[in-house]
Amino acid sequence: MQLTRRKFLALSGAAAGTGALNWSALAQTPHGCNLFWPPDRALPVFPPALFFQAADLTSLSGDQQGLLVTLQGIVNRKLPRLYFYWGTDPTNQEWLTTSKIPYETVTDPMKLVDQYRYEITGAVIYDPNLPDTVNLATNLAGLKGGVIATADLAKSLNLPILDDLRGRFSTKLDAYTWALNNLWPQLSNRVVTAISPTNTVTVPNVQWTTVLQETRTIHDGSNKALYTADLSSFLSGEAVYLRYQDANQNDGWGPSVSLVTILADGNAIATFQPASAAEAPYLFDADGSQTASGWRFADHTEYFIYKFVPPAGTKQLTLQTEMWNQFLVTATNTAPSVQVANANFRDYIVAVNAPVFWLDPEDTNESALFSEALKLMQPDAPYLGWFPQGHEMTGVTLCGQNSSPVVAADFFYNGSALSGVYAPVRSRKSNLPVPQIANKIYLTLTMVEGDNIQYNQHRMRQIWDDPNRGQTPINWSVSVLLADIAPSMLHYFQQTQTENDLLVAGPSGAGYTYPDVWPATTLPGFMRRSGEYMQRTGMNVLFVYNRNGSTDVPLSQGLVDLYKQYVPGLQGIVYNYDPSSQITMIDGVPVATLLGMNDLLSSQSELANIAAAWNGTSPLFIAGGVESWNMTPTDVNTLVHSLGAEFVVLRADVFFQLYKASQSS
C-alpha cells in the first residue's frame, strides 16, 4: 500500500492526534516509499515517527556504519523507526530525548540487519580501491531498496548482491560520468547532495616528531620564508608522513604553506604548490584545512598531512617548504590514519533518492561535471552537503550560478528520523517595545553560521543550552529549512527562547547562497521560497551573504527590492562579515554589514575603538557578527558587561525599527 496525498494527510493527522494509527501494513511493503513532496516544500514530508529503536554506532567499523545508515534510510522512508548516534557527540542523544518520541536502546546494532531483513533486497558492493564508488553504491541502494557493503561484509550477513562496483571504473571522473548518464536520470531532481565517500580514522599511538616549529605569536606573515628540515631519520618505513598544524591553537593563525619540495639524495621527487593539481598525489589527509590562491592553511585544531614514498635506497631525505605564521610541522613513518566508508547523511540520501557526488569546484575537470549535475536539477533544488577541501566560496558560487542554494549537511545525523518527528513551528512573532531614540551607540549581536543545519544540530544546541543565555539580547541565525528536515529542532529553539533571543533567517534565506550570482530568471523563485519559509517560521530579520567567489559584493537596490517584495514584514537585513559595520536604508529597508567579532578579547578592543571615535552628538548603529564557533552566550554577556554606558544592546528587530525611526525624525 502506497500513500496518496489524501491518505497521508489523514493518517498523519490521526497519528499526531490520537496515536491510534496502525502503520504496520505500510511497514510491510517491500522497499516502498511513503514520502510526500508538495510542490511548495523544499524537502519532502516523511511519515510521522511513533517509536524509535536507538543504537550507538561508535564502536562499529566504518563499513558497518555505512551499511546500517543506508538500512536506516530504507526503513525510515516507509516509517521512521531507526535512530543512530555516536558517543563522541552528546547532542545526538539530546535531540532523541527532546523529540519526545518513545524509544528503546538496541545494544547490538548489527542485529538490526536481521530484524529488518524483509524490508531490504540485498547489498550493493562498492570498490575499496575507488572510494567514490561508495557514493554510487548509495544511489543504487536507494533505487534498488538495498544497503551498501563491502563484499566480505555482505557475505558475512548473507545478503544477496544487487550490484558489484568492484573494478568497474578506473577514476572518480569515470565513475561520476557513468552515474550522471545512467543513475541520476532515475533519481530525484528536486535535491542534490555532496558527501565525502570516506572518513579518516586515526590510528592510535602513532609517534610524531617535531621537525619545524614557530614558537612566536605571529599573525602578519612576517616570518614567511623557505624552511628546510632533514627527514632522513624517517626512511626506515614504507613512506614518510608530514603533518602541518597550528602551533598555537587558541587564536586561529596556523600555518600557511605555499611550496613543498622533497629531495631524495639531492634530487626532487616531489615539488608542488598547495591548492594545485600537482598537490593531489601527495595530500594524504586534508582534515579541515582550507586553500586560498596558491597556499593551504590550517587554523586551531585543523591540520593537513602529506605522504611521500622515497625511492628504494635513499640515504638523505630533505624537506624544503615555504610557509608563514604559527606553524608546527611533525613527521612519522607510520601510517597515521586509514580511510573508511563515510556513513554521514546517507540515510537521508537513500530515503529521498537524492543524487550524491563529491566533486571539487576548483578542479577544472571536476567542476565541469559538477555543473552538468546541477543542470539536471530543478531551479532552487537544495544542495545538501559540502565541498571537497573546504572550497566553500567557489562551491557556493557555482551552485548559485546553477540556481541551487547550499545547506551544509555533511555532519547532519538522522535526517530520515528527524524529518518524521512532528512538532509545531510557531509563525507568530514576539514583539518588544521600541525605546525612545537617544545619543547612544546601539549595538545588535548576531550569532553567525545559522544556515548550517549541522551547526544547528550540534554546536548551536551546545551554546544555546548555556545557562547564561537570555541575560543579553542575541540574534541567533538559524536555517528556516529545519521546518522540513527537523521541525522538532526548530520547535525546541522557539519554545526555549527568552525575550532576549531572536531567531533570524540564516544566510541567505531558504539556503546559503550568494544572490548576486543567480540567473535573473530563477532568483525570484528563491526569494519567494525564502519569504514563505520566513513567514512559516516567524522570522522577520534576514542574514545574507553576497559574494562572487571570494569577493564580497554589496547588496544592490535590486536585490533588496526582491527580498522586500517576497518577504512580507521584513524588518531589516544584516549581511557579510566585514572589518566594520555600516548601515543604510535601501527603499525603506535597513541594511547593515556585520562587524566580524571573532573572539572576546578582540571584540572588546574593536568596540572600545568605536566608542573612542564616536563624537557623541548623534546615535550610532553597529551590527556585530559573533563567531559562534569561538564564542558562547557567557562570552557575549562578558562582552556586554564590559561596555560603557554609551552602549545600548538590542535585538535586531528593535534595532532596525529604532534605526528607521532615527531616519524619519
Supply the CATH number for residue 224's domain: 2.60.290
Which pLDDT value is given to residue 201? 83
Asked whether residue 188 falls in the same domain as residue 215, the answer is no
Say how far apart CA 652 and CA 658 lie, in whole Å. Answer: 10
> Is the N-terminal amide bond of 416 cis, ω within 30° of 0?
no
Residue 459: which CATH number? 3.20.20.490
Asked whether residue 486 falls in the same domain as residue 555, the answer is yes
**Average pLDDT, integer, range 401-413:** 97
Which pLDDT value is given to residue 482? 98
Residue 87 pLDDT exceeds 60: yes
Alpha-carbon separation of residue 125 from 57, 72, 130, 145, 488 (angstroms): 21, 17, 12, 14, 35
Closest C-alpha among 452, 461, 485, 445 to residue 604: 445
Residue 214 pLDDT exceeds 60: yes
Q: Name the one residue in this structure whose C-alpha cell is 559595520.
A: 581
Say how far apart CA 134 and CA 117 lie, in whole Å. Answer: 21
Are the CB atoms for 594 and 577 separated by under 8 Å? yes
Could you tell me if residue 531 is inside a domain?
A: yes
Which pLDDT value is given to residue 368? 96
DSSP letter, residue 5: H
Which pLDDT value is given to residue 351? 98
**Average pLDDT, integer, range 152-176:** 97
pLDDT class of 431 with cuts at 50, 70, 90: confident
Residue 277 pLDDT exceeds 90: no
**Average pLDDT, integer, range 402-417:** 97
pLDDT class of 665 with cuts at 50, 70, 90: low
Read off the amino acid at residue 418: L
CA angle centred on 360, ends 459 and 357, rounded to 5°: 80
Asked whether residue 188 falls in the same domain as residue 222, the answer is no
Asked whether residue 135 falls in the same domain as residue 283, the answer is no
Could you tell me if residue 436 is inside a domain?
A: no
Q: Name the one residue in this structure whose C-alpha cell is 544555546.
A: 464
**Number of domains present in the structure of the chain:** 3
The sheet carrying 383-385 orders its strands as 356-357, 192-194, 383-385, 406-408
Tell me the per-residue pLDDT of 499-517, one tens digit each, with 9 for 90 and over.
999 999 999 999 999 999 9
Size of the chain in residues: 665
Asked whether residue 249 falls in the same domain as residue 284, the answer is yes
Residue 384 pLDDT exceeds 60: yes
Residue 11 pLDDT exceeds 50: no
Query: Strand ranges (DSSP E) for 57-121?
Result: 82-85, 103-105
Beta-carbon contacts of 22 under 8 Å, excluding residues fewer than 6 positions away, are none
DSSP letter, residue 409: -
Q: Rounded to the nearest 5°, which phi and psi values hold at 305?
A: -125, 135
Tell me the per-residue pLDDT of 282-337, one tens digit each, with 9 for 90 and over.
999 888 898 887 899 999 899 999 999 999 999 999 999 999 999 999 999 999 98
Could you tell me if residue 423 is inside a domain?
A: no
Asked whether residue 36 falls in the same domain as residue 184, the answer is yes
Could you tell me if residue 363 is inside a domain?
A: no
**Average pLDDT, integer, range 360-365:** 92
Query: Would you state the cell numbers that stand for residue 373, as one nine-digit string?
Result: 549535475
Say how far apart CA 551 and CA 158 lie, in whole Å. Answer: 54
Query: Would you state the cell numbers that stand for residue 86, as one nine-digit string?
Result: 555516536
Could you tell me if residue 431 is inside a domain?
A: no
**Average pLDDT, integer, range 49-68:** 96
pLDDT class of 275 with cuts at 50, 70, 90: confident
Could you tell me if residue 391 is inside a domain?
A: no
Q: Based on DSSP, count helices (H) and strands (E) in the chain, helices before strands.
A: 21, 34
Q: Name the one residue in this structure whose C-alpha cell is 558587561.
A: 641
Residue 439 pLDDT exceeds 90: yes
Beta-carbon contacts of 146 under 8 Å, excluding residues fewer than 6 positions away, are 70, 74, 120, 121, 122, 123, 124, 140, 159, 162
**Where does a domain end: 281, 312, 335?**
335
Which pLDDT value is given to residue 21? 38
Residue 276 pLDDT exceeds 90: no
Tell me the per-residue pLDDT of 527-548, one tens digit each, with 9 for 90 and over.
999 999 999 999 999 999 999 8
**Where does a domain end: 304, 335, 366?**
335
Asked whether residue 605 falls in the same domain as residue 547, the answer is yes
Asked whether residue 499 falls in the same domain as residue 638, the answer is yes
3-state secondary structure of 52: strand
Distance from first CA to last CA of the chain, Å, rounded?
A: 65
Query: Would you state the cell numbers that stand for residue 342, as one nine-digit string?
Result: 563515510
Residue 422 pLDDT exceeds 70: yes
* pTM, to two decimals: 0.86
Could you tell me if residue 523 is inside a domain?
A: yes
Are the CB atoms for 633 and 445 separated by under 8 Å? no
pLDDT class of 340 with cuts at 50, 70, 90: confident
Asked whether residue 187 falls in the same domain as residue 250, the answer is no
Q: How much of the chain exceeds pLDDT 70, in percent?
A: 95
Q: Rounded to the nearest 5°, which phi and psi values hold at 640?
A: -65, -40
Say how far apart CA 478 and CA 505 lie, in whole Å. Answer: 6
Which pLDDT value is given to residue 32? 63
Say how far apart CA 446 and CA 504 lie, in whole Å. Answer: 9
Are the CB atoms for 82 and 115 separated by under 8 Å? no
Query: Would you state the cell numbers that stand for residue 306, as one nine-digit string?
Result: 602529506
**Average pLDDT, integer, range 170-192:** 97
pLDDT class of 27 with cuts at 50, 70, 90: very low
Which pLDDT value is given to residue 79? 97
Sequence-ordered alpha helix ranges (H) in 77-105: 91-98
CA angle centred on 191, ends 117 and 561, rounded to 5°: 155
**Average pLDDT, integer, range 184-207:** 93
List beta partners, residue 586.
589
Residue 554 pLDDT exceeds 70: yes
Q: Rounded to the nearest 5°, which phi and psi values hold at 620?
A: -125, 130
**Average pLDDT, integer, range 465-486:** 98
Q: What is the mean pLDDT of the chain?
A: 92
Query: Would you state the cell numbers that stand for residue 242, as one nine-digit string?
Result: 608530514
Asked whether residue 168 falls in the same domain as residue 263, the answer is no
Could you tell me if residue 522 is inside a domain?
A: yes
Residue 458 pLDDT exceeds 80: yes
**Where does a domain end: 274, 303, 335?**
335
Which pLDDT value is given to residue 489? 98
Residue 13 pLDDT exceeds 60: no
Beta-carbon contacts of 133 under 8 Å, excluding residues fewer than 6 positions away, are 126, 127, 165, 166, 168, 169, 175, 197
Is beta strand 383-385 parallel, antiparallel or unpaired with respect to 192-194?
parallel
Are the CB atoms for 221 and 388 separated by under 8 Å? no
Asked whether residue 13 falls in the same domain as residue 138, the answer is yes
DSSP letter, residue 500: T
Asked whether residue 130 falls in the same domain as residue 226, the answer is no
**Average pLDDT, integer, range 23-41:** 65
Q: Name the one residue in this structure whose C-alpha cell is 631524495.
A: 264
Question: Which residues span the domain enclosing 511?
Answer: 441-664
**Average pLDDT, integer, range 372-387:** 97
Biggest distance spanned by C-alpha atoms of the chain: 82
Which pLDDT value is given to residue 202? 85
